[in-house]
């Protein structure tokens, strides 16, 4: 459903991503991993239309999205990593704003928004301004806003951050159900254990290039490593963390005599 | 009619309507005025105040028919006075509006991040923002002129030229008022837009902050200081003066007269300046908005959150112990970097600033050397008062309230040290700047020793004011929650100002008489010093037993319902139940 | 019969105790490494009797604080073979026991108990995990331990003394990373950390060395002068971690420290927590990521609806409840909702 073809983007002459290509088919949950500064957020911004690539294209259902950005945006739901919300609106008002901007009917918005908030345990908070919400609550509002219009493509950037165990489990179950309904899900996260659990395919990006694009079990078998974490560490050439930790504690205990 | 408007409105695209409503709620910088999102009520109150002013002005018009001026010069003077004040008031109101809704027409980062994944085109966002800001300005224009815009043309127009004169005056009045507002608003937009385009972002943010405060001071200052010319002769006399050439309110006043047909030929150039200025401002604003939307929205998204290569100060000054340094620096950075605090502080400081400018003007225009008179003493004392009160009124407004946990968990020193740090902040940022400015302004006053004596008195007064303002203030500035209902600051503020004005005016001649007489001066210093020291000791003593608090808890109101409890009758036999 | 008191001191500090109980007659001998400053009460539940009087031996001995030292003991009168004993070091009022203890702590918000009679101990040298679903009183307890909220009933003791007795000394030794990264957005990272150092009264040069060193190791050094409002979540979390550790605290409280961190940083933080525990600090850390808790913590405390439902090491929990992972244990103890049906309802609603 979503296809990226040889995307290239540079900032002030320094390439941020080069030759990034992958696909997300309907019914698939694809994980997208990479260390900080690898070009993950640049790719996501290009997919959601906030940036234009210098080269390459993004295809949605076979059509180039740059030809009709508005229609593309109407078809996907996006939960960003940093929760940008209008703090002075209440949870319900924010969902109403998003629903109206997406062209849903008033009655439908009312029904969906209130019931979604109730299912996400935000019922008693739906009239308070978002500035009084905790992190997990804001995350749930963003989730509801992304799902309100029944999009075909879902892009989640660290959706579990701030969610407690129960909500996280429910979200994982929800993802499976949505994928079963035929939606395409792009799941970006740092929590490798969760990615290993739920994603059918994993894409690893580092230094602007795709390093791997396969199912987690295939990756671990191929590289003969026990879990995804070690695969990841090897692929992105991570430094030895134990020694870094020891150095930190030593610095902490510096005392000039 | 209503249905017609509704059907027209319904034709507008949905995205535009939704966003317009959103942005209308946000035109006023909510944070700067600490309004809890009840913007509609605030806007209603604001419009109400303006309508009231307009009605008072219209009442004045009707009273003038009761006792009309007798001579043609009198009528001319009345007409000119009213026209000038109308233009000046309109420009002041619009100027204050721009300060309060600074930056609201340009997309900020949050708008870009929230709205760009949604299916709305950028030009819809631009149009919605422009219309929302424009709507506010239109409401202000309409409210301020609803009554006076018809009453005064009626009186003046019919006097000068009969009934067609009324129509012409009306047109002139409204045209001028709209033109002046548009000029002011658009020129501010132009400056903001082009500086956003040309300057790097960090410099732009700094520049924008300074500009906001400068604009505040400028609008208030110009309004209070500009002279009012009541006759063509006065105008001619001031023709060469720079006031006339530079102040837009005179241009629009001349424009008014040009449209209503009363303009002396010599002043036609002023009117043309008005037209040209209006044209330049409007085109500049349109150009800067378009360019901003085309470039800035893309830049905002592309821009990394952090600008690489920013560097900090290599070494920071120390203000005493480490706790004192921490709190003073924190207060300074909060004042400088928080828009809300800047705007509130600007209100008080701009009064002090206007006083300083008035003094400066007096100094520059009069031949030196000047003796120390109450005309010098009273403004300096008032400046000191306003700056101390201003800073003290800013202290309770919190910044990043939830981040005060770090102060609570690192409370390793007794509370009196924190209160001492607050005192130091008050002295360094309120008393010291005013003292330095007064010293600078006193350069052309003689004799020197009297100047020095006055400065000493001023310093002691400043110290005493600072102590008075900190009585009972047992918190760290900017870290305690703020209960708006609790503050009757405004009332106490104005009462305080009134009392101080009277005290200051009566103290000044006394001080003037004392300067130069060593014995009485020494007595005065001794009394003031003892008072200051006594206040300091009182505060110090109270601070020892104080507890720092970080939350304003509303007072518990205990109501008794006075219900009586009548226990059931207990007889021996009742305990046995069947 | 003479009762001879043995000093049988076991310590799980480094999980490295060399404890041998030879079944030789006439002599029981062993040597153990002990963290200085502990006073332990060990109960030996049962011992095999072969006609000897060995029922319950309660040994109670204070150790003078100091570097770890082997302690030898002998007993020549009894023969003992011990087949099972539980090692639980419980501190009580005594001198210099570096541990955090909550005793019957409750917190009522207008007569609704948010935290109800919670008691547990966090020992130095081990990482204590602190779990619970939302609304279980977890953050409330954390805030009570840091002193930000008043306790309604009960006592919190650090080193045997209630923390209210000398809050200044307690704050000097406590480092806290709160759940949500509330920071002063208008300051830069370096300014904020310098301010915290000054508020704590640390000497300027030493604190700036520590801050710079830690920022470098957490790869935040280049961005330290940029305003915090531009920091990502992970960077803010790192600033909080540096602020909590810069004064070398003995008690470290972490409330969801991993949220927002990328893989490299969360691995560093994991190792850091283990390292801090290894150096004898008391580390109490709460998280929602059960896999991380399973890997890092040796001991967990689970809260549900304000009450304590589990307080034990992970292995013991696993064997007691016969469940393989911490997530399964947690679901059984603390999760009430049927997440599957909830997810189904949401999916249906969206599709409507």
Q: Which of A11-15, B23-27, B192-196, B530-534 is the most confident on average?
A: B530-534
Read off the tokens for B491: 């009332």
Asked if residue B223 lies in contact with residue B88, where contact means CB atoms within 8 angstroms, the answer is yes
Asked whether residue C58 is domain-assigned, the answer is yes
Question: Which chain A residue is nearest to residue B112, measuring alpha carbons?
Answer: A50
Prediction ipTM score = 0.76
Asked if residue B110 lies in contact with residue A87, where contact means CB atoms within 8 angstroms, the answer is no
Looking at the fold, whether A57 and A92 belong to one and the same domain comes out as: no
Choose the mutation target among A58, A70, A154 for the interface with B, i.e. most B CBs under 10 Å. Answer: A70
Choose the mutation target among A9, A16, A50, A128 for the interface with B, i.e. most B CBs under 10 Å. Answer: A50
Asked whether residue A80 is domain-assigned, the answer is no
Choose the mutation target among A37, A66, A71, A100 for the interface with B, i.e. most B CBs under 10 Å. Answer: A100
- In the prediction, which pLDDT does B493 show? 66
Q: In the predicted model, is pLDDT for residue C36 greater than 60?
A: no
* C337 CA: distance to closest CA in chain A (Å): 8
CB contact under 8 A, B406 and C222: no
Looking at the fold, whether A64 and A156 belong to one and the same domain comes out as: yes
Half-sphere exposure of B92 (CA within 13 A, CB side): 16
Among residues A123, A149, A175, the one where a domain terminates is A149
What radius of gyration, in Å, describes the C-alpha atoms of chain C? 23
A30 Cβ neighbours under 8 A, 6+ residues apart: A22, A24, A184, A185, A186, A187, A199, A200, A201, A202, A203
Phi/psi of residue A173, each to 5°? Answer: -60, -40
CB contact under 8 A, C346 and A147: yes
Q: A234 and chain C: CB distance < 8 Å anywhere?
A: no
Q: Which residues of A touch C206 (CB under 8 A)?
A: 254-256
Question: Which chain C residue is nearest to residue A254, measuring alpha carbons?
Answer: C210
Buried b (16+ CB within 10 A) or exposed e, C131-162: bbbbbbbbbbbbbbbbbbbebeebebbbbbee
pLDDT in tens, B235-288: 666 666 666 677 888 888 888 888 887 777 777 888 888 899 999 999 999 998
pLDDT in tens, B343-372: 778 878 877 887 887 787 777 777 767 777
- In the prediction, which pLDDT does B29 show? 61
By residue count, chain B amounts to 578
Mean pLDDT of B446-467: 88
* Residue C42: strand pairing partners: C59
Q: A127 and chain B: CB distance < 8 Å anywhere?
A: no
Please tell me the distance from the alpha carbon of residue B261 to that of residue B79, in angstroms, as a whole number: 13
Q: What is the domain extent for residue A71? A: 2-75+151-252
Buried b (16+ CB within 10 A) or exposed e, A70-95: eebbebbbbbbbebbbbbbbbbbbbb
Mean pLDDT of C316-344: 77
> Where does the pLDDT of residue B573 fall: very low under 50, low under 70, confident under 90, or very high at 90 and above?
very low
Asked if residue C79 lies in contact with residue C98, where contact means CB atoms within 8 angstroms, the answer is no
What is the three-class DSSP state of A9? strand
**Stronger pLDDT, B368 or B78, i.e. the higher one:** B78
CB contact under 8 A, B301 and A48: no
- Rounded to the nearest 5 degrees, what angle is found at the Cα of C269, between the Cα atoms of C264 and C271? 100
Question: Rounded to whole angstroms, what are the CA distances from B254 to B80, B151, B224, B483, C153?
Answer: 10, 20, 20, 48, 77
Asked whether residue C84 is domain-assigned, the answer is yes
Mode of pairing for the β-strands spanning C282-286 and C307-313: unpaired
CB contact under 8 A, A98 and B113: no
Asked if residue B497 lies in contact with residue B385, where contact means CB atoms within 8 angstroms, the answer is yes
Asked whether residue C47 is domain-assigned, the answer is yes
CB contacts under 8 A, A 224-253 vs B, are none
Identify which of B88, B119, B105, B142 has the alpha carbon closest to the alpha carbon of residue B18.
Answer: B119
CB contact under 8 A, C201 and B413: yes
- In the prediction, which pLDDT does B304 show? 58
CB contact under 8 A, A71 and B114: no
Q: A102 and chain B: CB distance < 8 Å anywhere?
A: yes
- In the prediction, which pLDDT does B28 show? 67
Asked if residue B478 lies in contact with residue B398, where contact means CB atoms within 8 angstroms, the answer is yes
Name the residue among A136, A174, A249 with its Cβ closest to that of C347: A174
Q: C223 and chain B: CB distance < 8 Å anywhere?
A: yes
Looking at the fold, whether A16 and A121 belong to one and the same domain comes out as: no
Asked if residue C198 lies in contact with residue B326, where contact means CB atoms within 8 angstroms, the answer is yes
CB contact under 8 A, B306 and C191: no
Half-sphere exposure of C129 (CA within 13 A, CB side): 25
Q: In the predicted model, is pLDDT for residue A227 greater than 60?
A: yes
Q: C231 and chain B: CB distance < 8 Å anywhere?
A: yes
CB contact under 8 A, C182 and B334: no
Q: Which residues of A touch B302 (CB under 8 A)?
A: 11, 51
CB contact under 8 A, A166 and C335: yes
Residue indicated by tokens 């009541």: B230
Q: What is the DSSP-derived secondary structure letter of residue B428?
A: I
Identify which of A56, A39, A44, A74 has the alpha carbon closest to the alpha carbon of residue A153.
Answer: A74
Please tell me the distance from the alpha carbon of residue C273 to that of residue C281, in angstroms, as a whole number: 10
Q: In the predicted model, is pLDDT for residue B40 greater than 90?
A: no
Identify which of B167, B181, B177 has the alpha carbon closest to the alpha carbon of residue B146.
Answer: B177
* A221 CA: distance to closest CA in chain B (Å): 38
CB contact under 8 A, A241 and C261: no
Asked whether residue A83 is domain-assigned, the answer is no
Q: In the predicted model, is pLDDT for residue B19 greater than 80?
A: yes
CATH number of domain containing A193: 3.40.50.300
Mean pLDDT of B110-133: 82
pLDDT in tens, C247-275: 989 899 998 888 878 777 888 888 888 88
Looking at the fold, whether A57 and A39 belong to one and the same domain comes out as: yes
Q: What is the domain extent for residue C76? A: 2-96
Looking at the fold, whether A135 and A167 belong to one and the same domain comes out as: no
Q: C177 and chain B: CB distance < 8 Å anywhere?
A: no
CB contacts under 8 A, B 453-512 vs A, are none
Please tell me the distance from the alpha carbon of residue B244 to that of residue B271, in angstroms, as a whole number: 11
pLDDT in tens, A177-205: 888 888 999 999 888 888 888 899 999 88
Among A20-29, A202-211, C13-22, C165-174, the range scoring the smallest mean pLDDT is: C13-22
Spell out the domain ranges in chain B: 35-302, 322-544
Question: Which chain A residue is nearest to residue B400, measuring alpha carbons?
Answer: A131
Q: A71 and chain B: CB distance < 8 Å anywhere?
A: yes
What is the three-class DSSP state of B547? coil
Q: Dmax over Cα atoms in chain A, in whole Å? A: 72
CB contact under 8 A, C188 and B312: yes
Model confidence, pTM: 0.77
Asked whether residue A142 is domain-assigned, the answer is yes
Identify which of C119, C138, C135 has the alpha carbon closest to the alpha carbon of residue C256.
Answer: C138
CB contacts under 8 A, A 123-152 vs C, are 134-136, 147-148, 150
Q: B574 and chain A: CB distance < 8 Å anywhere?
A: no
Q: Which residues of A touch B25 (CB under 8 A)?
A: 88
CB contact under 8 A, B305 and C231: yes
* B15 CA: distance to closest CA in chain A (Å): 6
How many domains are there within chain A?
Answer: 2
Q: In the predicted model, is pLDDT for residue B225 greater than 80?
A: no
CB contact under 8 A, B306 and C196: no
CB contact under 8 A, B113 and A51: no
Chain-centroid distance of CA C128 in Å reads: 3
Mean pLDDT of B198-217: 82
CB contact under 8 A, A249 and C266: no
Please tell me the distance from the alpha carbon of residue C341 to that of residue C352, in angstroms, as a whole number: 17
Looking at the fold, whether A156 and A236 belong to one and the same domain comes out as: yes
Q: Which residues of A touch C259 (CB under 8 A)?
A: 135, 161-162
Q: How many CB atoms lie within 10 A of CB C53?
A: 8
Looking at the fold, whether A173 and A113 belong to one and the same domain comes out as: no
Among residues A105, A131, A149, the one where a domain terminates is A149
pLDDT in tens, B315-334: 677 877 888 889 999 998 88
Asked whether residue C309 is domain-assigned, the answer is no
Mode of pairing for the β-strands spanning C307-313 and C299-304: antiparallel
Residue indicated by tokens 């009198």: B74
Q: In the predicted model, is pLDDT for residue C76 greater than 90?
A: no
Choose the mutation target among A178, A190, A206 for the interface with C, i.e. most C CBs under 10 Å. Answer: A190
Q: What is the DSSP-derived secondary structure letter of residue A209?
A: E
| DSSP per residue, B492-542 | HHHHHHHHHHHHHHHHHHHHHHHTT-HHHHHHHHHHHHHHHHHHHHHHHHH
**Stronger pLDDT, C79 or B208, i.e. the higher one:** B208
Choose the mutation target among B201, B205, B304, B306 for the interface with C, i.e. most C CBs under 10 Å. Answer: B306
**Stronger pLDDT, B522 or C9, i.e. the higher one:** B522
Mean pLDDT of B563-574: 62
How many domains are there within chain C?
Answer: 1
Q: C226 and chain B: CB distance < 8 Å anywhere?
A: yes
- In the prediction, which pLDDT does B555 show? 65
What percent of chain A shows pLDDT beyond 90?
11
What is the three-class DSSP state of A255? coil
CB contact under 8 A, C198 and B326: yes
Q: Which residues of B touch A74 (CB under 8 A)?
A: 119
CB contacts under 8 A, A 37-76 vs C, are none
Report the 3 state secondary structure along B328-379. Answer: HHHHHHHHHHCHHHHHHHHHHHHHHHHHHHHHHHHHHHCCCCECCCHHHHHH
What is the three-class DSSP state of B314? coil
Phi/psi of residue B447, each to 5°? Answer: -75, 160
Among B257-261, B568-572, C338-342, the range scoring the smallest mean pLDDT is: B568-572
Report the 3 state secondary structure along chain C. Answer: CCCCCCCCCCCCCCCCCCCCCCCCCCCEEEEECCCCCCEEEEEECEEECCCCCCCCEEEEEECCCCCCCCEEEEECCCCCEEEECCCCCCCCCCCCCCCEEEEEEEEEECCEEEEEEEEEEECCCCEEEEECCCCCCHHHHHHHHHCCCCCCEEEEEECCEECCCCHHHHHHCEEEECCCCCCCCCCEHHHHHHHHHHHCCCCHHHHHHHHHHHHHHCCCCCCCCCEHHHCCHHHHHHHHHHHHHCCCCCEEEEECCCCCCCHHHHHHHHHHHHHHHHCCCEEEEECCCHHHHHHHCCEEEEEECCEEEEEEEHHHHHHHHCCCCHHHHHHHHHCCCCHHHHHHHHHHHHHC
- In the prediction, which pLDDT does B308 show? 56
Asked if residue C270 lies in contact with residue C296, where contact means CB atoms within 8 angstroms, the answer is yes
- In the prediction, which pLDDT does C8 show? 38
């Amino acid at each position: 459903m979503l296809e990226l073809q040889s995307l290239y983007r540079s900032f002030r002459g320094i390439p941020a991503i080069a030759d990034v290509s992958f696909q997300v088919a309907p019914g698939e949950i694809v994980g997208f991993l990479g260390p900080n500064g690898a070009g993950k957020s640049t790719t996501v911004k290009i997919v959601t239309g906030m940036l234009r690539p210098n080269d390459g294209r993004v295809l949605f259902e076979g059509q180039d999205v740059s030809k009709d950005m508005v229609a593309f945006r109407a078809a996907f739901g996006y939960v960003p990593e940093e929760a940008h919300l209008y703090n002075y609106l209440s949870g319900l008002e924010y969902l109403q704003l998003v629903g109206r901007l997406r062209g849903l009917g008033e009655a439908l918005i009312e029904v969906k928004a209130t019931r979604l908030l109730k299912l996400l345990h935000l019922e008693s908070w739906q009239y308070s301004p978002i500035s009084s919400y905790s992190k997990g609550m804001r995350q749930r509002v963003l989730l509801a806003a992304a799902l309100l219009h029944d999009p075909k493509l879902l892009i989640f950037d660290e959706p579990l951050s701030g969610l407690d165990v129960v909500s996280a489990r429910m979200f994982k179950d929800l993802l499976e159900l949505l994928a079963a309904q035929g939606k395409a899900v792009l799941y970006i996260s740092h929590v490798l254990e969760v990615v290993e659990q739920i994603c059918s395919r994993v894409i690893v990006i580092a230094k602007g290039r795709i390093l791997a694009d396969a199912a987690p079990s295939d990756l671990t078998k191929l590289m003969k490593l026990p879990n995804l974490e070690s695969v990841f560490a090897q692929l992105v050439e991570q430094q030895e963390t134990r020694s870094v930790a020891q150095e930190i504690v030593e610095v902490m205990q510096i005392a000039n005599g | 009619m209503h249905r017609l408007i509704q059907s027209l409105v319904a034709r507008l695209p949905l995205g535009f309507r939704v966003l317009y409503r959103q942005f209308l709620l946000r035109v006023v910088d909510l944070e700067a005025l600490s309004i809890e999102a009840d913007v509609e009520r605030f806007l209603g109150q604001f419009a109400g105040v303006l309508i009231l002013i307009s009605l008072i002005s219209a009442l004045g018009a009707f009273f003038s028919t009761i006792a009309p001026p007798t001579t043609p010069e009198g009528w001319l003077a009345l007409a000119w006075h009213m026209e000038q004040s109308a233009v000046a008031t309109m420009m002041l109101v619009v100027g204050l509006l721009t300060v309060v809704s600074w930056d609201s027409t340009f997309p900020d980062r949050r708008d870009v991040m929230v709205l760009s994944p949604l299916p709305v085109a950028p030009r819809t966002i631009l149009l919605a923002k422009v219309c929302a800001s424009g709507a506010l300005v239109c409401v202000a224009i309409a409210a301020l002129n609803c009554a006076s815009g018809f009453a005064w043309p009626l009186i003046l127009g019919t006097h000068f030229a009969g009934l067609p004169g009324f129509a012409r005056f009306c047109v002139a009045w409204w045209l001028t008022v709209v033109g002046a507002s548009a000029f002011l608003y658009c020129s501010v937009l132009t400056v903001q837009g082009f500086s956003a385009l040309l300057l790097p972002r960090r410099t732009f943010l700094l520049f924008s902050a300074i500009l906001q405060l400068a604009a505040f001071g400028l609008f208030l200052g110009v309004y209070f200081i500009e002279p009012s010319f009541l006759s063509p002769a006065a105008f001619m006399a001031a023709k060469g003066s720079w006031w006339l050439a530079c102040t837009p309110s005179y241009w629009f006043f001349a424009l008014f007269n040009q449209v209503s047909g009363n303009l002396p030929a010599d002043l036609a150039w002023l009117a043309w300046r008005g037209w040209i200025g209006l044209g330049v401002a409007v085109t500049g604003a349109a150009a800067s908005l378009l360019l901003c939307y085309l470039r800035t929205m893309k830049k905002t998204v592309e821009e990394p959150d952090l600008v690489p290569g920013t560097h900090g100060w290599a070494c920071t000054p120390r203000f005493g112990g480490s706790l004192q340094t921490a709190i003073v620096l924190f207060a300074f950075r909060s004042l400088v970097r928080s828009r809300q605090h800047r705007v509130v502080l600007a209100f008080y400081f701009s009064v002090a600033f206007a006083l300083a400018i008035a003094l400066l003007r007096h100094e520059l225009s009069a031949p030196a050397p000047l003796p120390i008179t109450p005309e010098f003493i009273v403004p300096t004392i008032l400046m000191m008062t306003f700056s101390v009160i201003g800073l003290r009124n800013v202290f309770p407004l919190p910044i990043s309230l939830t981040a005060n946990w770090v102060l609570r968990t690192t409370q390793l020193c007794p509370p009196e040290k924190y209160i001492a740090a607050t005192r130091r902040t008050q002295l360094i940022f309120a008393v010291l700047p005013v003292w330095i400015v007064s010293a600078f302004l006193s350069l052309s006053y003689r004799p020197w020793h009297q100047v020095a004596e006055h400065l000493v008195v001023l310093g002691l007064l400043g110290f005493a004011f600072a102590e008075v303002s900190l009585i009972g203030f047992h918190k760290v500035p900017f870290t305690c929650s703020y209960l708006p209902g609790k503050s009757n600051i405004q009332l106490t503020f104005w009462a305080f100002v009134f009392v101080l004005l009277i005290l200051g005016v009566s103290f000044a001649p006394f001080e003037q008489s004392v300067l130069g007489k060593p014995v009485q001066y020494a007595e005065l210093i001794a009394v003031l010093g003892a008072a200051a020291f006594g206040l300091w000791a009182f505060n110090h003593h109270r601070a020892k037993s104080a507890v720092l608090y970080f939350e304003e808890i509303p007072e518990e109101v205990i109501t008794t319902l006075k219900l009586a409890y009548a226990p059931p009758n207990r007889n021996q036999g009742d305990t046995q139940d069947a | 019969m003479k009762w001879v008191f043995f000093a049988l001191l076991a310590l799980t500090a480094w999980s490295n105790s060399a404890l041998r109980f030879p079944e030789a007659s006439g002599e029981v001998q062993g040597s153990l490494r002990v963290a200085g400053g502990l006073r332990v009460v060990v109960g030996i539940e049962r011992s095999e009797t072969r006609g000897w009087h060995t029922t319950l031996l309660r040994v109670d001995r204070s150790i003078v604080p100091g570097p770890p030292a082997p302690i030898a003991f002998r007993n020549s009168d009894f023969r003992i073979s011990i087949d099972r004993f539980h090692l639980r070091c419980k501190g009580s009022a005594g001198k210099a026991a570096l541990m955090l203890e909550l005793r019957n702590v409750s917190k009522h918000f207008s007569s609704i108990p948010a935290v109800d009679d919670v008691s547990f101990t966090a020992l130095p040298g081990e990482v204590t995990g602190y779990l619970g679903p939302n609304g279980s009183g977890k953050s409330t307890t954390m805030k009570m331990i840091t002193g930000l909220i008043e306790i309604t009933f009960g006592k919190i003791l650090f080193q045997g003394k209630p923390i209210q007795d000398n809050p200044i000394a307690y704050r000097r030794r406590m480092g806290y990373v709160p759940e949500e990264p509330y920071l002063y957005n208008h300051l830069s990272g370096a300014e904020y950390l310098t301010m915290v150092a000054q508020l704590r009264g640390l000497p300027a040069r030493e604190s700036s060395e520590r801050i710079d060193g830690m920022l470098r190791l957490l790869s935040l050094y280049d961005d330290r002068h940029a305003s915090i409002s531009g920091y990502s979540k992970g960077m803010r979390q790192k600033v909080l971690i540096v602020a909590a550790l810069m004064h070398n605290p003995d008690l470290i409280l972490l409330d969801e420290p991993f949220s927002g961190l990328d893989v490299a940083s969360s691995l560093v933080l994991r190792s850091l927590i283990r390292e801090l525990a290894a150096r004898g600090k008391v580390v109490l850390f709460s998280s929602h990521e059960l896999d991380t808790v399973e890997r890092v913590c040796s001991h967990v405390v689970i809260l549900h609806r304000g009450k304590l439902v589990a307080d034990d090491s992970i292995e013991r929990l696993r064997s007691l409840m016969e469940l393989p992972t911490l997530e399964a244990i947690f679901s059984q103890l603390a999760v009430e909702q049927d997440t599957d049906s909830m997810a189904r309802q949401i999916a249906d609603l969206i599709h409507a």
